[in-house]
């Protein structure tokens, strides 16, 4: 009887099974999915304040959260903000926990939540509505440049 070696594969071949840059390695059984430690959440909070909400590329290039993908950064940012849409905060240098505290207090028939996040239950915001909201958030939450430029983040070798 001939022995054939069958090698288990964690990722089948084919166009739909390509590891993409925003995929978590744990999707393909390459690594455990450890979630986020308190330290990592605090680093993300500071990185968002320093680089601006949604600037995943800058955060990833800096290297303060090695192994985290832009999808993971985005989801954790939603948790910090307490809302699903981050578009109205794009590029703002804010403390996301301040927004999260405000959102946690919001109640009423017009506030819809899913998994604890406030979700938009109406239509998509127009460009003008988004810009108006961004300006409101800038006035209410944005920190002075002298504060966010001086935030020190760890590097992978620290």
Q: What percent of the chain has pLDDT over 70?
A: 78
Largest CA-CA distance found in the chain, in angstroms, rounded: 77
Beta bridge pairs of residue 112: 119
Confidence at residue 3, expressed as pLDDT on a 0 to 100 scale: 52
Residue 57: CB partners within 8 Å, gap ≥ 6?
70
Tokens at residue 54, please? Answer: 């949604």
Query: What average pLDDT does the chain have?
Result: 84
Q: Quick check: 89 and 55 in contact, CB under 8 A?
A: no
Name the band, by pLDDT with cuts 50, 70 and 90, for residue 110.
Answer: confident
DSSP 63: T
Residue-wise pLDDT tens digits, 57-92: 999 999 999 999 999 999 999 999 999 999 999 999
Residue 65: CB partners within 8 Å, gap ≥ 6?
40, 43, 44, 47, 59, 73
Name the band, by pLDDT with cuts 50, 70 and 90, for residue 51.
Answer: very high
For residue 153, what are the CA distances in angstroms to 39, 88, 150? Answer: 11, 25, 9
* Weakest mean pLDDT among 10-19, 77-86, 103-112, 120-129: 10-19
Q: Is 117 exposed, middle or buried (0-12, 13-18, 19+ CB in 10 A)?
A: middle
Residue-wise pLDDT tens digits, 27-45: 444 444 568 999 999 999 9
Mean pLDDT computed over 41-61: 97
The secondary structure element, H or E, covering residue 119 is: strand 117-119
pLDDT beyond 80 at 18: no
CA–CA distance, 9 with 100 (Å, rounded to integer):
42
Does the pTM exceed 0.75?
A: yes
């Amino acid at each position: 009887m001939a022995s054939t070696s069958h090698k288990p594969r964690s990722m089948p071949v084919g166009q739909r099974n390509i590891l993409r840059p925003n995929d978590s390695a744990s999707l393909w059984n390459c690594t455990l999915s450890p979630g986020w430690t308190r330290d990592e959440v605090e680093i993300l909070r500071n990185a968002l304040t320093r680089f601006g909400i949604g600037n995943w590329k800058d955060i990833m290039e800096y290297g303060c959260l090695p192994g985290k993908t832009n999808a993971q950064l985005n989801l954790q940012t939603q948790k910090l903000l307490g809302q699903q849409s981050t578009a109205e905060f794009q590029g703002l240098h804010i403390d996301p926990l301040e927004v999260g505290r405000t959102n946690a207090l919001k109640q009423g028939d017009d506030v819809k939540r899913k998994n604890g996040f406030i979700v938009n239950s109406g239509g998509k915001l127009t460009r003008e509505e988004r810009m108006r909201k961004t300006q409101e958030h800038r006035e209410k939450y944005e920190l002075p440049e002298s504060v966010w430029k001086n935030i020190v983040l760890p590097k992978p070798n620290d």
